[in-house]
Amino acid sequence: MQLLNALVLCMVYVVLAGLAVGLVYHRTLSHRALRLAPWFERTLVTLGLPAGTPVQWAGNHRRHHAHTDQEEDPHSPRHGFWHAHNGWYISQTHWVPCLAYALAGPLRTLFDGWHRPRSNQESVHLAPDVAADPYYRFVSRPGPYLAFAVAHVAGFYGAAWALGGTAGLIMLMATQILVYNLGDAIDSAAHLIGDRPFAVTHLATNHPWVAFLTFGEGWHANHHSFPRSPRTDIFRGQVDVIWWEIRLLALLGIASELHKAPSATDVRARLKDSVKDSPAHVPAR
């Protein structure tokens, strides 16, 4: 029973991370693809703070879209897999420190609590709308950010210990390592491996496994072609769980002002000639 409770906690952690980073940091704050009720948005940003401060996350991500896989992209795999995966956070390209960082779980959260507000600040000017929110400005400051990082580790690992003892701690640590690396895989694997159906010069791909494990974020080629769309599924067979969540939140009155998703005509106009007649690239709507 103890292990079952710890397993439920780990599943809740994965779902909350997907909502906090995929829905709120990414689609809402960085792309303004929709609007969320402020209480809901702020609660999820608070839970998702280990991803980085909301101001720097949105600024870096906007730079990534403006210069995808060019010199000014903060995390392109053109500068190496490990640089794109997580080395760009810690100014490393060698695989040894990057692998250690990738596997550090709660130690990474605590290290980032100190380090993140002091690094990767080059693009914060690209997110003035996020910085205009006093709460996001407050949690992006070094002191509060560190306090939230410590509280995140103490709260979730305390719950894991209470629910499952040592096994609960190990399960949550494995879950957290998975969550960190799935987020990082969108910047590395989903710019290296997979399908590139659009006529573009950057490297973003549709990566089914990353998409499955990140609730739809891995349809990254689709996203780079239509970044303001609140949904990333475009072709038959693709599933975007975050889009289902957005629809549910819209029904509940929590999500609103959804930006328009691309039509089949919009999609066809952007496809590479070589895939225009391929059955795998028929827009689902």
Interaction site with Zn ion (CB under 5 A): 204
Query: Please, which residue, 124 or 160, has the CB nearer to Zn ion?
Result: 124
Output the smallest distance, CB 232 to Zn ion, in A. 9
Find the shortest distance in angstroms from Cβ 202 to Zn ion: 8
Closer residue to Zn ion, CB minimum distance, 49 or 204: 204
Task: Find, among 244, 178, 161, 238, the residue nearest to 206 by Cα.
Answer: 238
Question: Which position's Cβ is nearest Zn ion?
Answer: 204
SS3 36: strand
Q: Which is nearer to Zn ion, 53 or 206 (CB)?
A: 206
| Shortest Cβ 36–Zn ion spacing (Å) | 16
Q: Which three-class secondary structure string do you get for 79-147?
A: HCHHHHHHHHHHCCCCHHHHHHHHCCCHHHHHHHHHHHHHCCCCCHHHCHHHHCCHHHHHHCCHHHHHH
Q: How far is the C-alpha of 38 from the C-alpha of 49, rounded, in Å?
A: 16
Closer to Zn ion at the Cβ: 108 or 220?
220
Nearer to Zn ion, 126 or 204 (CB): 204
- Count of other CB atoms within 10 angstroms of residue 39: 9
Closest to Zn ion by CB, 68 or 175: 68
Shortest distance in whole angstroms from residue 220 CB to Zn ion: 5
Nearest CB to Zn ion, comparing residues 44 and 204:
204
User: Minimum distance from CB of 190 to Zn ion (Å)?
Assistant: 7
Minimum distance of Zn ion from residue 109's CB (angstroms): 23
C-beta separation of 205 from 193 below 8 A: yes
CA distances, 206 to each of 71, 76, 111, 185, 215 (Å): 22, 16, 32, 12, 13
CA dist., res. 284 & res. 264, Å (int):
8
Single-letter amino acid code for the residue at 178: L
Task: State the minimum distance, in angstroms, from the CB of residue 69 to Zn ion.
Answer: 8
Q: Answer yes or no: are the C-beta atoms of 180 and 188 closer than 8 Å.
A: no
